[in-house]
Amino acid sequence: MTAADGILVIIGAGVVAYTVLGGADFGGGVWDLLAKDKRQRDLIASTMGPVWEANHVWLVFVLIGLFSGFPVAFGQLARMLTVPLAIALLGIVMRGAAFVFRQYGEPSEMTTSWGRVFAMASVLAPASLGYCAGSLAIGRVGGWFPVASAGLALACCAYLAAVFLCREAVVRAEPRLAADFRRRALASAIVTGVLAVGALPVLAHDAPDLAADLIAPPLGVSVVAGIGTIVALLRHRYRTARVFAATAVAAVVAGWGLAQYPVLVPPDLTLTEAAAPAQTLPVTLGVLIGGFAVTLPAVAFLFRVFGHPEPD
């Protein structure tokens, strides 16, 4: 494995982590938009509040690795995806600001309005990022696959969040909320599966080579994990359902990366052509490995300390 391959592995790990953990965060905002009562919103807020912004650290690793390790690819993607990336960034910023104003402001009509902004931005940001992913997969902006990818990304976020919130409701001794989010998790799992299957023929039309390579073991893992999620939810095994749900989504992202390798930006910009000068790659790899070595235990500790309800 070359230094360029190592950097790409770290970028891929960052994408997977952001998709799963950041996706669950975004999905919490989706369910906030669809919440029926204050108790559901309170569960979402109390679950997200202590840890939610930490998930953007994975996106930082992706951007640094891409900019430092593959500047040619970074430049092409920045030009190609200027508009959807700008929309995604706007959604992320508005989401962060709105959450703070809603969560820590005095209850009023204004905090209610900020809650709506938070929920709508939670839809806008993952949909835009999904559009970017679909555009990267086919090498251009436009066509139906980026649109399908945006819808699939939004569904994955809702699916992950609903599954994660089932467990949080049980931990907080809220059986009614657990039942509510269990129904939502089952529904979103089915919707996500249907959208994923429906996106395959669209991908085959827009990028036939990628579609042919994508039908590989990772997709099989995703299917099995998706079924496992549904079974675990039906049996009220919410901790197991979390693992299966995260695996199902992560396997799709990993399968996409493996199918596209060694092409970074279709149709023909490869890993070797996009890489930075050979002298800088080992240094960049070392910095990224060091960053991961520090960040992983820190984030794990953060989740462990703040990811549980405070005792009464």
- Full set of structural domains in the chain with CATH: 3-306 (1.20.1630)
Mean pLDDT computed over every residue of the chain: 91
**What are 36-77's pLDDT values in tens digits?**
888 888 888 888 766 666 788 899 999 999 999 999 999 999
**What are 230-286's pLDDT values in tens digits?**
999 999 999 999 999 999 999 999 999 999 999 999 988 999 999 999 999 999 999
22-36, 74-88, 117-131: range with lowest mean pLDDT: 22-36
Q: Is the pLDDT of residue 3 over 70?
A: yes
pTM for the whole structure:
0.93
Question: Which residues fall within 8 angstroms of residue 161, CB to CB, at 6 or more apart?
Answer: 23, 24, 25, 26, 27, 28, 30, 31, 44
Alpha-carbon torsion, ordered 120, 121, 122, 125, to 10 deg: 130
User: Tell me, what's the pLDDT at 130?
Assistant: 97
CA angle 145-158-232, nearest 5°? Answer: 115
Residue with the bigger pLDDT between 310 and 152: it is 152
Residue with the bigger pLDDT between 289 and 54: it is 289
d(C-alpha 55, C-alpha 17), whole Å: 8
CA angle 37-232-194, nearest 5°? Answer: 75
84-93, 135-144, 210-219: range with lowest mean pLDDT: 210-219
Neighbour tally for 107: CB within 10 Å = 8
Question: Which residues fall within 8 angstroms of residue 309, CB to CB, at 6 or more apart?
Answer: 46, 171, 172
Are 106 and 99 in contact by the 8 Å Cβ rule? The answer is no
Are 41 and 115 in contact by the 8 Å Cβ rule? The answer is yes
User: Tell me, what's the pLDDT at 251?
Assistant: 96
User: Per-residue confidence at 311, pLDDT binned at 50, 70, 90?
Assistant: very low
User: Per-residue confidence at 115, pLDDT binned at 50, 70, 90?
Assistant: confident
* Helices and strands: H and E segment counts in the chain: 14, 2
Q: Using CB atoms within 10 Å of the CB of residue 67, give its burial: 0 to 12 exposed, 13 to 18 middle, 19+ buried.
A: middle
User: Tell me, what's the pLDDT at 312?
Assistant: 38
Q: Is the pLDDT of residue 18 over 80?
A: yes
Question: Which residues fall within 8 angstroms of residue 281, CB to CB, at 6 or more apart?
Answer: 2, 3, 4, 7, 69, 275
Peptide bond into 71 cis (omega under 30): no
